[in-house]
């Protein structure tokens, strides 16, 4: 066996323990979901994951597998979702749907920047929080950081806090959509897809409501991600302007230079549009849809178990008060903006 094969085998072996635990949680969740249809397998999988991940499953040997489930499997799930949707489905959002997404992103990014400045956070950290909350969580932060030349410390804290905020909202927003909209399809989907930070959180929260809301909320979210490049360019220009005006600290100035970094669109978004196009062109037959959806559903439940297992209660508690208050203010801006925009546009 070559050195390369050995390395691949080693990586697979490190992934398997955590992956098997996530699959086991998914199987138990599907079984329990038959007897608790109000909750459903997806919701059960998340909460079982949280419980196990913070108790008996809190073991370093499981980390690579849970990360694989949370990241790669969820991305595969998004790609498979495209194989069950026609291009025409994307246009169901209509002009109002696109306008809602654009305005919601503007309010979120603007709010995060203004609040961050008022609370005296560094410009890098403020822009990363704006990107992560406004577009697509960790992926947006990872795309923004090299472009604005953010310090690795700011990047790490931003990723942690955006995920913490998204996790809390993932649990609370389905309750809010129930109270405000009685889980009506378009308005509930707009709220979840327009606010939540990561695709995984949108899928998880949507699954707590219904299969239809999960699918439409994911489409809202994907349209948000399409605007990633534009948002990153705007944030880069804000950073450049702040440097010219001297609104930055010495540390930021040391890390600022003229090198232009490439902005990458997440691969699963490209995959989603590819499978969606193949389905629309009938290259993927319509009669495959039910089977693909069944496979996609199970992969998604496994991924949700991984998401749950990587929600560490201790991390939620130990974050500083000032950063937590900042996250709270951003979340309030997002929720209030979404409620007002949904009332006007839908």
Query: What is the C-alpha to C-alpha distance for residues 65 and 100, in angstroms, rounded to an integer?
Result: 37
Pair 102, 14 in one domain: no
- The confidence score (pLDDT) of residue 221 equals 92
Residues 268, 289: one domain? no
pLDDT-derived band at 191 (thresholds 50, 70, 90) equals: very high
271 and 302 inside one domain: no
Same domain, 192 and 124: yes
Q: Angle 221-29-307 (CA atoms, 0-180°, nearest 5)? A: 40
The answer to whether residues 72 and 167 belong to one domain is no
Please state, in angstroms and rounded to a whole number, the distance separating the CA atoms of residues 162 and 151.
17
At residue 191, the 3 state secondary structure works out as helix
Provide the domain limits for residue 67. 1-83+285-311
List the structure tokens of 315. Answer: 């991390």
- Cβ(28)–Cβ(48) under 8 Å? yes
- Closest-CA residue to 114 (of 97, 96, 130): 130
Judgement on whether residues 324 and 237 belong to the same structural domain of the protein: yes
C-alpha distance across the termini of the chain, in Å: 60
Q: What is the pLDDT of residue 40?
A: 77
- pTM score, two decimals? 0.74
Q: Kindly indicate the confidence band of residue 246, based on its pLDDT and cuts at 50, 70 and 90.
A: low
- For residue 285, the SS3 value is coil
The DSSP letter of residue 258 is: S
Q: Which of 216, 217, 224 is nearest to 131 (CA)?
A: 224
Residues 35 and 108 in one domain: no
Q: Give the model's pLDDT for residue 100.
A: 97
256 band by pLDDT with thresholds 50, 70 and 90: very low
On whether both 53 and 96 belong to a single domain, the answer is no
The whole-number average pLDDT for the span 188-206 is: 91
Q: What is the structure's pLDDT at 212?
A: 92
CA distance 46 to 311: 9
CA gyration radius, the chain: 20
85-108: average pLDDT: 89
Tally of CB atoms within 10 A around 63: 16
CA 341 to chain centroid, in Å, comes to 21
Write the DSSP assignment of 62-82 as a string of letters.
Answer: GHHHHHHIIIIIHHHHHHHHH
What pLDDT score was predicted for residue 249? 47
Please choose, from the candidates 45, 210, 75, the residue with its C-alpha nearest in 3D space to the C-alpha of residue 137.
75
What mean pLDDT value characterizes the chain?
85
pLDDT at 82: 84
Nearest-angstrom CA–CA distance, 76 and 268: 7
334 and 265 within one domain: yes
Higher pLDDT, 204 or 216: 216
Based on the domain organization, do 192 and 257 belong to the same domain? yes
Q: Does residue 120 share a domain with residue 9?
A: no
Give SS3 for 38. coil
pLDDT tens per residue across span 130-173: 999 999 887 788 778 888 888 877 887 887 788 888 888 998 99
For residues 125-134, give the mean pLDDT.
94
What pLDDT is recorded for position 118? 95
32 and 169 assigned to the same domain? no
pLDDT at residue 117 tops 50: yes
pLDDT for 190 equals 97
The domain tally of the chain equals 2
């Amino acid at each position: 066996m070559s050195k390369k094969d050995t390395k691949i085998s080693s990586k697979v072996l490190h992934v398997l323990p955590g992956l098997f635990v996530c699959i086991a949680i998914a199987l138990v969740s599907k079984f329990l979901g038959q007897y608790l249809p109000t909750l459903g397998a997806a919701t059960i999988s998340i909460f079982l994951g949280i419980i196990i991940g913070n108790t008996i499953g809190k073991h370093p040997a499981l980390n690579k597998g849970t990360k694989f489930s949370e990241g790669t499997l969820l991305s595969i799930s998004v790609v498979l979702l495209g194989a069950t949707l026609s291009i025409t489905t994307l246009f169901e959002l209509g002009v109002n749907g696109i306008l809602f997404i654009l305005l919601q992103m503007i309010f979120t990014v603007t709010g995060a920047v203004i609040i961050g400045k008022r609370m005296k956070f560094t410009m890098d950290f403020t822009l990363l929080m704006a990107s992560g909350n406004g577009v697509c969580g960790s992926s947006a932060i990872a795309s923004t950081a090299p472009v604005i030349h953010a310090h690795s410390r700011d990047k790490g804290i931003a990723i942690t806090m955006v995920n913490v905020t998204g996790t809390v909202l993932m649990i609370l927003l389905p309750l809010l959509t129930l109270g405000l909209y009685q889980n009506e399809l378009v308005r509930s989907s707009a709220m979840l897809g327009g606010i939540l930070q990561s695709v995984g959180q949108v899928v998880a929260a949507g699954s707590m409501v219904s299969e239809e809301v999960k699918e439409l909320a994911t489409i809202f979210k994907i349209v948000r991600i399409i605007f990633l490049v534009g948002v990153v360019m705007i944030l880069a220009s804000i950073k450049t302007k702040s440097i010219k005006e001297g609104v930055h600290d010495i540390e930021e100035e040391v890390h600022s230079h003229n090198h232009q970094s490439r902005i990458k669109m997440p691969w699963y978004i490209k995959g989603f549009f590819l499978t969606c196009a193949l389905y629309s062109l009938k290259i993927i037959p319509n009669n495959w849809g039910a089977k693909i959806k069944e496979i996609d559903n199970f992969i998604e439940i496994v991924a949700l178990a991984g998401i749950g297992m990587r929600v560490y209660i201790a991390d939620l508690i130990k974050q500083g008060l000032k950063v937590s208050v900042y996250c709270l203010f951003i979340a309030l801006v997002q929720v209030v903006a979404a409620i007002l925009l949904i009332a006007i546009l839908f």
